[in-house]
A = this chain, B = another copy of it.
Amino acid sequence: MPYNELRKDYLLDRWVVIATERARRPTDFSKPKMESAKPALCPLCAGNEHMTPPAVLVYLPSEAGSVRKTEEEGDFRRKNWVLRTIPNLYPAFAPPKDPADADHVMSNLSFGNAIGAHEVIVESPNHSDHPADADLSQLTYVVNAYKDRLNELSQKSYVKYVQIFRNYGLEAGASLSHAHSQIIATPFVPTIVAAELAASKTYYNQHGNCIFCDLIKQESQSPRAILDNAHFAVFAPYASVNPMEFWILPKRHTSNILSLTNEETEGFVQTLKTTLKALKDLVNDPSYNYGIHLSIDKEAENYYHWHVEIYPHLAIWAGFEKSTGVYINTVAPETAAAELKKAAKYR
């Protein structure tokens, strides 16, 4: 190959240089992870419920072995739980203090109030129940909590988008090491999501298809394919901006996770666990971020397709990336996919 390749994202005007001359292999990134040691007193661990604000959602073990949502106000600080969701103590976005405030959100083009919500999903009473290692039943509670909170937050008049995401490891911004996800509801559709919506709408109008449905067909046959099961496809995107980046897409076209069936939920947590475990094994437990891209806009139902983008934290975006919005990736997505595919196979 005489030159490094420049590649554009499927949807975004986002370019990446696949800098293969450096020819990094996944194992080159193996290094001792910066450990955030388990604190003496973790506010998210079972028994320390008094250290957090009262929960907005609690799952309790039921006699039948499944869970039930708590309905009693007093239960929001109870101790016997399998999952709880709490407001963030320092919310970036907060609910309106006065109902009238909700209507005036974002009327101006250059500033507004950060009205919305910011919550923490405590995924397990056990400190280290991260997705690569947790039981599938525990991960099912997590995805159900994503659905429950999305369902409630997306009905608020002042909420235009709900970002569900997860930070794992100190280097990826997880200031607490207890297994948790976060949800931020915003009063506008954020930049990247808005660009994805616009581009997928254009594609739909031109081709009569969902671009993500077409991508699943195309990339499952490509050297970027990682995993393919009854309900989900996993591949390394053509213009990955992160080394070892991969995306998980549902095969059934739907714009968000609210309509996930039990069987699909099961397939999703299995896919999530398998791929994150493959990443963990391959690169010595790296830090990562993931975000669920979705739409809560009825109009987008035909053309938008929810999915998860997983960004391993293996490189630093430096002066070039921050100044230009162009990225340099030292691992070709095809290499990442081949290695992840192999690592996922033996699970």
On whether the beta carbons of B3 and A191 are closer than 8 Å, the reply is no
Contacts of A318 in B (CB 8 A): 165, 167, 172-174, 289
On whether the beta carbons of A173 and B317 are closer than 8 Å, the reply is yes
Whether A306 is near chain B, meaning CB under 8 Å from some CB there, is no
On whether the beta carbons of A115 and B317 are closer than 8 Å, the reply is no
Closest to A170 in B: B316
On whether the beta carbons of A4 and B191 are closer than 8 Å, the reply is no
Contacts of A186 in B (CB 8 A): 324, 326
On whether the beta carbons of A320 and B163 are closer than 8 Å, the reply is yes
On whether the beta carbons of A323 and B17 are closer than 8 Å, the reply is no
B4, B111, B163, B292: the one contacting A7 at CB < 8 Å is B111
How far apart sit A21 and B311, CA to CA, in the bound complex (Å)? Answer: 28
On whether the beta carbons of A190 and B324 are closer than 8 Å, the reply is yes
- Quote the shortest CB–CB distance from A290 to chain B (angstroms): 6
Instruction: Count residues of chain A with CB under 8 A from any CB of chain B.
Output: 66
Chain A facing B: main interface SS = mixed
Contacts of A6 in B (CB 8 A): 106, 111-114, 187
How far apart sit A174 and B290, CA to CA, in the bound complex (Å)? Answer: 26
On whether the beta carbons of A7 and B110 are closer than 8 Å, the reply is yes
Contacts of A316 in B (CB 8 A): 171-173
How far apart sit A309 and B320, CA to CA, in the bound complex (Å)? Answer: 12
- Stoichiometry, copies per complex: 2
**With known contacts A6-B106, A92-B4, A316-B173, A291–B323 Cβ distance under 8 A:** yes
Between A174, A290, A319, A328, the greatest number of chain B beta carbons within 10 A of the residue's beta carbon is seen for A319
How far apart sit A293 and B110, CA to CA, in the bound complex (Å)? Answer: 22
Whether A257 is near chain B, meaning CB under 8 Å from some CB there, is no
Whether A61 is near chain B, meaning CB under 8 Å from some CB there, is no
On whether the beta carbons of A4 and B193 are closer than 8 Å, the reply is no
How far apart sit A309 and B40, CA to CA, in the bound complex (Å)? Answer: 41
Beta-carbon contacts of A292-304 to B below 8 Å, as 1s and 0s?
1100000000000
Whether A177 is near chain B, meaning CB under 8 Å from some CB there, is no
- Quote the shortest CB–CB distance from A184 to chain B (angstroms): 6
Contacts of A103 in B (CB 8 A): none
**With known contacts A3-B114, A4-B113, A111-B7, A323–B93 Cβ distance under 8 A:** no
